[in-house]
Amino acid sequence: MSNPETVTLYQFSLCPFCNKVKAALDVTGVPYKKVEVSPRSKKELPELPEGTPQKVPIIEVGDTVIQDSTRILEYIEKEYTSGHGYRLEDEEEAKRSAEIEDWVDSEIIAALPTVIYGTWKEAAQAATVVARESNFGPLQGLGVRIGGSFVMHMISKRLLKRANRTDGHAWVKECLDSFEEWLGDKNFVVGDKLSMADVAMHGALSCVRDFPVFDQVEARPTMNSWFKRVSDIRTEHRVN
């Protein structure tokens, strides 16, 4: 699409999956508007088919409604080419990118809530970020800040237990170690071209830029250079 219509993104500001989608929209130069969804009531969501999970991210483009961050990234990759783009022509590189994008979902995105909401202090900081990013009224905003943070704090504990872990920060460190090893001396994680894997990882990490855990990224020269490289692409092509 050379002149893409505006996409509506239903999101929660500290949702790593939602930040993946924002990264993809920025990179490809697609105009979009954000609708902040209450993690409690979810009343802001569009009408969905019966039995469909009531969760973000969701994008709405005209009559098309798509859920699931990976499906959304695949849709954007296919439909929008006016910006930088992240489609790979090499089959092996594309396969590797898909594998790493899947790892981003299963590992780093699973780990991030445990360092955003892992302690009550972190949950309180998250509440401040949500208050800044949302456009809720005072009462609804208060409910989201208190109730949402409480829910996510509980979820972070369940995530650690499910992964048989006790330290979310150590988990994130392991993830960063792996990604940095795959990155090596390349510009991007599977080669010289930006891929869906880069977009996914950059989006996921973007949601913790206001948290102490991001110091782990900035303390790694290779990782930090990669992050800035992708940030520059997003800034150059971002329409919003």
Residue 204: CB atoms within 10 Å: 25
Pairing of strands 58-61, 64-67: antiparallel
CA dihedral for 58, 176, 221, 209, sign (positive or negative): positive
Question: 168-183 and 91-103 are packed helices; what angle lies between their axes, rounded to 10 degrees?
Answer: 170
Dist CA 24 CA 76 (whole Å): 7
pTM, to two decimals: 0.87
Tens of pLDDT, residue by residue over 1-10, are 445 678 999 9
**123 contact partners, CB below 8 Å, separation of at least 6:** 116, 117, 149, 150, 152, 153
More confident residue, 100 or 120: 100
Residue for token digits 């949302």?
A: 134
Alpha helices (H) in 137-194, listed in sequence order: 138-143, 149-162, 168-183
Tell me: the pLDDT tens digits for 204-232? 999 889 888 899 999 999 999 999 999 99
For residue 131, what pLDDT band results from cuts at 50, 70 and 90?
low
Q: Mind listing the pLDDT tens digit for each residue in 21-55?
A: 999 999 999 999 999 887 777 888 988 888 888 89
CA distances in angstroms from 128 to 110, 145, 149, listed in the order given? 22, 7, 10
Distances (CA, A) of 180 to 54, 127, 151, 188, 229: 34, 30, 32, 10, 14
